[in-house]
Chain A
Amino acid sequence: MSKSNKIIIKADNVKKKFGDFYALKGVSMEVHEGEVVVILGPSGSGKSTFIRTINQLEKHDDGKIIVDGTELNDDIKNLETIRSNVGMVFQQFNLFPHLTVKRNIALAPQKVKGISQDEAESIAMPLLERVGIPEQADKFPAQLSGGQQQRVAIARALAMQPKIMLFDEPTSALDPEMIKEVLDVMKELAASGMTMIVVTHEMGFAREAADRFYFFDEGLLVEEGTPEHFFTNPKEDRTKLFLSQIL
């Protein structure tokens, strides 16, 4: 895995409040280009909220987020451009049910980048091959299994040629026998040098693909380190407790 020293995401003391509840109480993180980051933590720890602030599906209330050299704040004019550089894969896939698989992938390049429909669809096929389901191109999402849907969702995000990919518990809604096919695609993506931030409980994948681990609890970044560090010698008690529960 080739990693440059360029910092592509810089979060500084990010806070987010839902009503009176602080989902993020000041999180700071730096992600280098090409790095694969896994975020761990119990549910309600703010890990999903944090990655959603990176493409501003949630606006942060305080702190600073810089993505690929642009600071995300209220003055930002071309939020759409930033978002098209940051792909996102959701727990519930969120494919567009009224469009075929091919149209799901081709829609955003066609509308956001303004290329022709034919050109956009010619982007779709190689991506479907990359995720291993070119034969499903003309089906509708509801006709696919969960694992296939999630792979389409990954292809759809990749179609915008993003610099960063965010994964929000991508395998949590899948049946066990389908998890591997999705993780294989993610491993291939990681090996290709994509910058990835992954919220997951799949420790096998994390151990194999991740460069860095971050452990969240109660809206705070509790501990960070290499996978090696987490598996052999975690420092914080909360980390130890969490790892003992999921491993």
Chain B
Amino acid sequence: MNSFIVRSNSWLIKNLFSSKLNILLSFCAMSLTIYFVWSLSIFVFISADWKVVDVNLRLLLLGPFPKEAEWRIWISIFWVAFMSGITYKNISRFQTKHLFNISPLILFILFLINPVNNIMITFLLALSLVCLFIGYNLPANRIFKLNQNTLNILGWAITLPLIVVFLKIFGGVETTKWGGYFLNIMLAWVGIIFGFIFGLIFAIGRASSLPVVRYSCTFYIEVIRAAPLVAWLFFAYLVIPDLLPDIFANKVDIALRVMIVLSAFTAAYIAEIIRGGLQSVAIGQIEASKALGMNGYQTTSLIVLPQAIRAVIPALVSQFIALWKDTTLILAAGLAFRELLGSGKSALAQFEFIGQYNEIYMFIGLLFWIVSFGMSRLSFSIEKDLGLNQEG
């Protein structure tokens, strides 16, 4: 114990109080930090009235999603939990440290749903934990006779289509009824997956030796990047119906149109990021691959792309996080949806909660932060796995 105090003392002196300037800076920084933490705590625990979040929780998370169809979302959550279990087992062993890391999230969820009053939801959440546990312990690779990695990739690849099936089968929920946090998640998920796939295709296309392919990819990228996302959302909402023949005009699902715009928009940016990565791969790599007798496709997919994508993981994740937050823009384009931010605005329009901006926006901010931070940590651990990052 004594030695601990001595050690922490010397650490403090070395890192915070080593010179007059450092003492001054440390003191200012500490005062500011304490002041902000203090006033935030006062607001969160004393002056804020969280009833607005409590009452509108369902609206914020699900929007106008019909209550009787909620089981569809629960099945999706179970599946995601199950897949997370499989992935968790694939990338690491269980450590108490991990439990500690996600404990704030668990506490937050418990605080949010208030388990005593919502026995059903608590039970369903516990059930998803069971799914995670099953995914972790099931020898799934032996059952399906697949390699762990293949199983993982395959599982996540079918997850999105599977969720769409869960939401749609047996007279499912119309996309116009999707809303809240759930809608943001779905839009971002679709945008990231398809944005990445098409971004990859456009990046390779732009590096192609065939002029027609190269110029069309360049043209696409330049056109998409020339206008802001909001403009493209207007385009999807207002212009596309006019361009289509009358019979189709109202048939093409508005949610589908938004998803296409988000994917197409993201694809252009992803393409440029990946192109940067492609240029960073040394020409000698391509020569070595060709000298071994590998063809163009093998060289690109096995040698060039893995190295190119590794080099641009931080930029890719930034783009994904940007897209995640841009999903709120469908509100600005005046669409019929109420995603999280829109739902928050409707909650603020309720008579009894008028003026409670702080509570609502702080809560919404926190929900966005959770996913953004999660993505950032995920990319961080991928980088570490690949031996690219020595930090942390």
Give chain A's interface residues, CB within 8 Å of chain B: 55, 57, 80-81, 83-88, 90, 92, 94-98, 107-108, 111-112, 140, 153, 156-157, 160
Contact = CB atoms under 8 A, between A and B. Distances in A.
Contacts of A57: 287, 290-291
B293 A160 contact: yes
Contact of B387 (A86, A96, A140): A140
B287 A108 contact: no
Given A90-B284, A94-B284, A96-B303, A81 B290 contact: no
Interface stretch (B167-175, B180-188, B294-302, B332-340): B294-302
Contacts of B177: none
A156 B289 CA distance: 11
13 contacts: A83-B293, A84-B293, A88-B288, A92-B282, A94-B288, A96-B307, A98-B310, A98-B386, A107-B302, A108-B294, A111-B298, A111-B302, A112-B294
Contacts of B307: 96-98
Interface residues of B, number: 20
Q: Which 5 A-B pairs have the closest CB atoms?
A: A84-B293, A94-B288, A108-B292, A88-B291, A94-B284
A86 B291 CA distance: 7
A110 to B, nearest CB: 10
B139 interface: no
A80 to B, nearest CB: 5
Contacts of A108: 292-294
B306 interface: yes
B127 to A, nearest CB: 39
Contacts of A80: 293-295
A94 B290 CA distance: 12
Contact of B292 (A92, A98, A160): A160
Given A98-B306, A98-B307, A140-B387, A111 B285 contact: no
Contacts of B292: 83-84, 87, 107-108, 112, 156-157, 160
Contacts of B293: 80-81, 83-85, 108, 112, 160
Given A97-B307, A108-B293, 9 more contacts: A80-B295, A81-B293, A83-B290, A92-B282, A94-B287, A98-B307, A107-B302, A108-B294, A157-B292
A120 B291 CA distance: 18
Contact of B288 (A81, A90, A112, A160): A90
A83 B302 CA distance: 18
Interface in B289-331: 289-295, 298, 302-303, 306-307, 310
Contacts of B288: 88, 90, 94-96, 153
Nearest to A96: B303
Nearest to B301: A111
A96 to B, nearest CB: 6
Contacts of B284: 90, 92, 94
Contacts of A140: 387
A160 B310 CA distance: 28
A85 B303 CA distance: 20
Nearest to B387: A140
A98 B308 CA distance: 10
A228 B251 CA distance: 85
Contact of A111 (B294, B310, B386, B387): B294
Interface string B17-59: 0000000000000000000000000000000000000000000
Contacts of B302: 107, 111
Nearest to B310: A98
Contacts of A97: 307
A92 B283 CA distance: 11
Given A94-B285, A111-B298, A87 B291 contact: yes
A112 B282 CA distance: 22
Nearest to A86: B291
A53 to B, nearest CB: 13
Nearest to A85: B293
B148 to A, nearest CB: 14
A160 B293 CA distance: 9
B382 to A, nearest CB: 13
B312 to A, nearest CB: 14
A168 to B, nearest CB: 10
B291 A55 contact: yes
Give the residue among B282, B289, B292, B310 with the most A Cβ atoms within 10 A. B292
Nearest to A159: B292
Contacts of B282: 92, 94
A90 B287 CA distance: 9
Nearest to B296: A80
A156 to B, nearest CB: 7
A102 to B, nearest CB: 15
B67 to A, nearest CB: 49
